[in-house]
Amino acid sequence: MPRLADPDPKNIPDDVREFLAVLPPDPLVRMLTHSAGTVKPFIRLAKAQFSSLELPARSREIVILTVAEYAGCEFVAAQHRPMSEAAGVDERTRRLIRGRELDSPELSTSDRALIRFTAEVVRRPTVSDELFDQARRFLTEREIVEVLQVAGYYWSFSRVCTVLEVEITKVYGAGEPVLTGGSDTARLGPAGVPGEHGDDAGAH
């Protein structure tokens, strides 16, 4: 059972209520609504993770799954399994992330560098020069910053879920709207998101 009850609708400002009206009645959305002053920008930032990055969708999903594993958040992991599959992350890669097999020879060199870098970001305040240099072999400067931003967003997302014990009531498919609402909110699924730098095969 969640540690916090749903917010009292009387305490939700009208503009926030209207903003959230198009979202599904998901327990995480309701939990975020306790912070009425930040729920809108938090959800808008979710859109940016799917519509405004140069980081390919497949890489983004690898980062999110790695954060979910090392933050111990089954909610995020469960929601992003179908999304990651749609983005091109195969079951073998998902299995290796779940098993924390960061050095597995089954991983490509680029995936190994990305997963190790992300895991270290979650576990420690800094990363070694070796890990950073490995990541730079495959990521542009912009993409490195985007990896850090995605990792930070989903670490926060994960802690809302784990600390407040948010329950999974539905796992959304890759094209189903979770955080959606017209022009300024987001879908947590690549199929419903505006094209990501060309909608190349690696991104969708």
The band of 175, judged by pLDDT with boundaries at 50, 70 and 90, is low
Instruction: Average the pLDDT over 150-176 and give the result.
Output: 90
Using alpha carbons, select from 84, 123, 68 the residue that is nearest to residue 93: 84
Instruction: Quote the CA–CA distance of 162 and 168 in Å, as a whole number.
Output: 11
Instruction: Quote the CA–CA distance of 72 and 89 in Å, as a whole number.
Output: 20
Cα dihedral sign, 8-11-16-17: positive
The band of 117, judged by pLDDT with boundaries at 50, 70 and 90, is very high
